[in-house]
Amino acid sequence: MDRQNVIFFTGAGISVDSGIPTFQEQPGIRERLARDFANEYPEEYRNTIRQILDSCENASPNAAHIAIAEGGFPVITMNVDQLHTKAGSKNVIEVHGVVPTREELEEELFPLTYDGIVLYGDLAPKYDDAIKLVKQLEYDNSYFIIVGTSFYTGISEQLYRIAKQRRAKIEIINENASQRVPVICKNMILRKMNE
């Protein structure tokens, strides 16, 4: 097995142990993260992004982020928290972008001046990069590991279907990611060493 035949696909659940709440724990947040809402209520939208930024700035990578980074595995993430990058991952596709800096957030014309985060109703240009990466999985000799995703967005289902078509072994982890992911990463590395 080639380590490049392992891809991690992560959602909000991987960052729970870092102190970042999931959308399910924040009623109404999805509606406030829509492009129409941002355009119509820019100050309420700015406050929503400010809350997300507060959570992200106070968070550190947990054992799951670190294990993926140490294993050198590519990551597709729906998260905007940049914890994979902070953990040291080099190959990260952030399909929904990243949160703005404090300076960008406080610009007078925000949200018009910041397009670094993908909102509901936006085009998501990095979806194509994610799809291309999953299509590179080798048939019958690859792993697609899904961590902490609710499959709410269409990209989740699409990547899952592509991995299944490639006959990748698919593992879904939606609980205890900071304990389970390091074990999986270690096993992937041991398999590679024993080949």
Residue in the structure block whose two tokens are 């406030």: 32
Tokens representing residue 58 in the block: 């106070």
CA distance 90 to 93: 10
Q: What is the DSSP letter of 18?
A: G
Q: Which of 65, 96, 166, 180 is catalytic?
A: 96
Enclosing H/E stretch for 178 = helix 177-194
- With the CA atoms of 121, 125, 127 and 133 taken in that order, what torsion angle do they form, in degrees rounded to the nearest 10? 180
Beta-bridge partners for 34: 120
Is the peptide bond prior to 27 cis by the omega test (within 30 degrees of 0)? Answer: no
Residue 96 appears among annotated catalytic residues: yes
Enclosing H/E stretch for 147 = strand 143-147
- Cβ-count burial 143-168 (b if 16+ within 10 Å, e if not): bbbbbbbeeebebbeebbebbeebeb
- Catalytic (active-site) positions: 96
